[in-house]
């Protein structure tokens, strides 16, 4: 029997990856505006009902981290209130909901990778809105899996890998923050994991251990500067000119929103319960860089 998954969004990195990675026996229905507009919560339930899904994935979000500082109400409506509406719709339909969340629910002050039961404490409007979404989902339906991820990149949309490759075209050196650490995570790997979680939830509707909060990031850790060095090392191997990375501090690159200094997430629970371990971030990043450069070469020719 085909597993029908409705996913909110259309152009986001995770949605694009899911549409590309649809496994055999799965159908993905991506619902976009105007049928479903997270900024207009009343559109959510009717759109999800019309999708006739077995599992709902709420992957769309307000992700402009710095802009959220000047638009906190909109961020809260999209990431908080709308997540709750999606969860209530899932409950009414009797189907599981998978909510994509973020490391930004933490303050980043811990000296080890965060576990699911560590105290939350967002330090930005974006983080506060995503935490509100988690809480709204949990309040609306017990049949949920909240997947916190971090430092997401892919061949799609705007992300750190594409930004570094673009800057490397015209610069000999790029300054990158070195005092924030985390786990770079490929949206391709996230998509594959989401499909596994969806299958598990659908196959074992009474297994409460499969529900709740899970951390889901690439294996290993690095700083943003280390991530950039890996990107430029692979691009050089593919024939691009060398680019130096100048290590700078967070204070040297001020942004409207505070970023967690520690974005590392402990994924042991996801591995133990759902049997999922995402690949090492370095190999996944190299794969992404090679793909982007190959696609760029194809367009150039």
Catalytic residue ranges: 126
CA distance 124 to 109: 14
The residues pairing with 56 across neighbouring beta strands, listed in sequence order, are 6, 97
Distances (CA, A) of 244 to 241, 248, 279: 10, 13, 27
User: Measured at the alpha carbon of residue 66, what is the angle toward residues 251 and 41, in degrees to the nearest 5?
Assistant: 155
Tokens representing 111? 């000296």
Q: What is the dihedral of CA 104, 105, 110, 112, to 10 degrees?
A: -80
Q: What's the burial of 83, exposed, middle or buried (CB within 10 Å: 0-12/13-18/19+)? A: buried
CA distance 260 to 12: 22
Distances (CA, A) of 250 to 64, 176, 195: 19, 9, 36
Q: How far is CA 151 from the centre of its chain?
A: 7
């Amino acid at each position: 029997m085909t597993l029908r998954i409705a996913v909110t969004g259309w152009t986001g990195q995770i949605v694009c990856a899911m549409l590309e990675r649809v496994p055999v026996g799965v159908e993905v229905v991506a619902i976009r505006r105007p049928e479903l507009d997270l900024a207009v919560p009343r559109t959510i339930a009717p759109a999800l009902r019309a999708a006739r899904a077995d599992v709902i994935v709420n992957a769309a979000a307000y992700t402009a981290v710095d802009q959220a500082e000047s638009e906190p109400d909109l961020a809260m409506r999209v990431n908080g209130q709308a997540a709750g509406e999606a969860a209530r719709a899932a409950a009414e339909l009797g189907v599981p909901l998978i909510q994509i969340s973020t490391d930004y629910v933490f303050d980043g002050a811990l000296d080890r990778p965060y576990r699911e039961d560590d105290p939350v404490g967002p330090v930005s409007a974006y983080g506060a809105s995503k935490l509100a979404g988690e809480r709204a989902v949990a309040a609306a339906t017990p049949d949920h899996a909240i997947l916190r991820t971090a430092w997401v990149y892919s061949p799609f949309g705007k992300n750190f890998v594409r930004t570094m490759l673009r800057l490397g075209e015209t610069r000999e050196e790029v300054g990158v923050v070195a005092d924030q650490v985390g786990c770079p995570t490929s949206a391709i790997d996230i998509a594959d994991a989401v499909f596994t979680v969806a299958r598990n939830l659908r196959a074992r509707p009474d297994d409460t251990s499969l529900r709740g909060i899970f951390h889901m990031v690439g294996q290993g850790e690095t700083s943003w500067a280390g991530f950039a060095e890996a990107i430029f090392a692979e691009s050089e191997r593919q024939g691009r000119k060398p680019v130096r990375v100048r290590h700078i501090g967070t204070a040297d690159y001020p942004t409207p929103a505070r970023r967690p200094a520690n974005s590392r997430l402990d994924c042991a629970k996801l591995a133990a319960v759902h049997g999922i371990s995402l690949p090492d971030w370095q190999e996944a990043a190299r794969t992404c860089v090679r793909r982007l450069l190959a696609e760029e070469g194809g367009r150039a020719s």
